[in-house]
Amino acid sequence: METRNNESTQHIFDSYCKRCLKRNALDLQRKDRRQSEREVTFSDLSVREMGNLSVTDNYFTDAYVFSVLGESVGVTDSDLAEALTALSADRREIVLMSYFFDMTDKEIAEHLNMARRTVAYKRTSTLKELKKIIEESEE
């Protein structure tokens, strides 16, 4: 009787193992099918989609480089770069710190040992001057 019980237990275990293996195989097939439905080969991508997958490094080869706070700031727009070179060094620094380093007037004033109001005045007047220089160069 005991051997019959052992044999029956073995058949049950054998059946259980086969079902588990079958279900795992089906799960893997479903997973592979889902993945292949989502995957696209590179040859199937459009030129625009391929462009979205790449990155182009831009170096300062075509830019004017200004030194501010010990760092290099590249300006690629030639009109803006020429207008910036026409400014005095302190006014150029104020504009570059404000727009390229996102510094507040207070932070710029502390760095340049000026009053905050002086920095604010120089920044706004310099922006007007830059606008005037750029508009003149476009004419």
CA atoms in the 13 A half-sphere facing the CB of 118 = 10
pLDDT score recorded for residue 72:
82
pLDDT score recorded for residue 117:
95
Residue 49: both structure tokens together:
């989609």
Q: Kindly state whether residue 58 falls inside one of the protein's structural domains.
A: no
Low-confidence ranges of the chain (pLDDT < 70): 1-2, 58-61
Instruction: Tell the residue number behind the tokens 């292949």, with chain if given.
Output: 36
Q: What CA–CA distance (Å, rounded) separates 103 from 86?
A: 22
Q: Tell me the CATH number at 81.
A: 1.10.10.10
Q: Kindly state whether residue 83 falls inside one of the protein's structural domains.
A: yes
Q: Kindly state whether residue 111 falls inside one of the protein's structural domains.
A: yes
Number of structural domains in the chain: 2
Host domain of residue 95? 76-138
pTM of the model: 0.55
Both 82 and 127 in one domain: the answer is yes
